[in-house]
């Protein structure tokens, strides 16, 4: 958005109502980056930016007649809207992939996962049908500027009132169980280290009594992370909970997991000193 506005200022463009109308879709477009974006999503974002750049370029073209400019502007407007819709399709497909990958859920959360997957499938159908609607067909008359502006408004309203609220919940669901996965990995690491220390209990080289307090601190972090993770899972099932609050819980869980790994690294440094390893 900033890049486009700067371009307009630098070239002293009088931006048409068609361009300004479609520009309002751009903030909507950037609302929901998933926490682990695929290359497809990054490519789709770049395609949208390029389509907006082309739209501004057409508006600033001075060598065209009014009719030629109007035709090219309409084509660029349609192309830009298509890229916005295509990005939303790519985003939805990415969320389906992330959501489907979550395993080992309880009966309640598995049902919620299934409901979200069905919802995403419905979103995908709407988006694909919308894309067909704005794609010029030989047997159908060309879209007018008024029609494409109305379609852009329809899609914007759909994203704001239907898509966005549900996507926030789905992203929270994915984040919570990604946190659960990280917690499981960290707990396994903790258990392995604890077992190793028991094996070295009578060792003269490894001073277990110096390492145990550090391991205990790591364990305390993981226990707190586990408690918060359970609260986050329960918040997913409570329809009154704001996804933002759930995401904050996940951030705290991840922070505690990072702290536990900090203690694991501290133990590793202590062991190296005990063994005189540089």
Q: Tell me the pLDDT tens digit for each residue of 15-66.
A: 344 444 444 444 444 444 444 456 665 666 666 666 666 666 656 566 667 6
Residue whose tokens read 């009594």: 209
- pLDDT value at 210 more than 60: yes
Residue 101 has pLDDT above 70, yes or no: yes
pTM for the full model?
A: 0.77
Q: Is the distance from CB of 125 to CB of 68 less than 8 angstroms?
A: no
Q: What's the gap between Cα 62 and its chain centre?
A: 40
Q: Report the C-alpha dihedral over residues 143, 146, 147, 148, rounded to 10 degrees.
A: 80
Nearest to residue 80, comparing CAs of 26, 160, 31? Answer: 26
Enumerate residues 6+ apart whose C-beta is below 8 A from 160: 28
pLDDT tens digits, residue range 177-190? 999 999 999 999 99
Q: What is the pLDDT of residue 41?
A: 59
DSSP state, residue 136:
-
User: Can you tell me the distance from the alpha carbon of 133 to that of 208, in angstroms, rounded to the nearest whole number?
Assistant: 69
């Amino acid at each position: 958005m900033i890049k486009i506005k700067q371009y307009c200022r630098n070239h002293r463009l009088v931006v048409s109502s068609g361009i300004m109308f479609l520009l309002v879709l751009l903030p909507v477009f950037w609302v929901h980056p998933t926490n682990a974006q695929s290359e497809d999503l990054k490519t789709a974002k770049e395609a949208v930016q390029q389509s907006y750049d082309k739209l501004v370029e057409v508006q600033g073209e001075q060598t065209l007649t009014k009719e030629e400019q109007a035709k090219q502007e309409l084509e660029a407007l349609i192309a830009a809207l298509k890229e916005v819709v295509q990005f939303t399709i790519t985003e939805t497909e990415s969320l389906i992939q992330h959501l489907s990958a979550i395993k080992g859920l309880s009966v309640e959360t598995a049902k919620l996962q299934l409901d979200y997957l069905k919802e995403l499938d419905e979103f995908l159908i709407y988006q694909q049908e919308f894309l067909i609607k704005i794609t010029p067909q030989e047997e159908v008359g060309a879209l007018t500027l008024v029609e494409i502006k109305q379609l852009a408004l329809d899609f914007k309203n759909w994203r704001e009132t239907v898509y966005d609220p549900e996507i926030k919940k789905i992203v929270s669901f994915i984040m919570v169980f990604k946190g659960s996965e990280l917690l499981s990995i960290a707990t396994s690491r903790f258990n392995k280290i604890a077992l190793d220390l028991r094996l070295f209990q009578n060792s003269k080289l490894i001073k277990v009594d110096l390492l145990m307090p550090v391991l205990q601190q790591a364990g305390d972090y993981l226990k707190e992370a586990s408690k918060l993770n359970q609260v986050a899972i329960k918040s997913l099932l409570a329809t009154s909970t704001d996804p933002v609050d759930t995401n904050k819980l996940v951030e705290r869980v991840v922070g505690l997991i990072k702290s536990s790994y900090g203690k694991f690294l501290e133990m590793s440094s202590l062991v190296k000193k005990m063994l005189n390893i540089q």
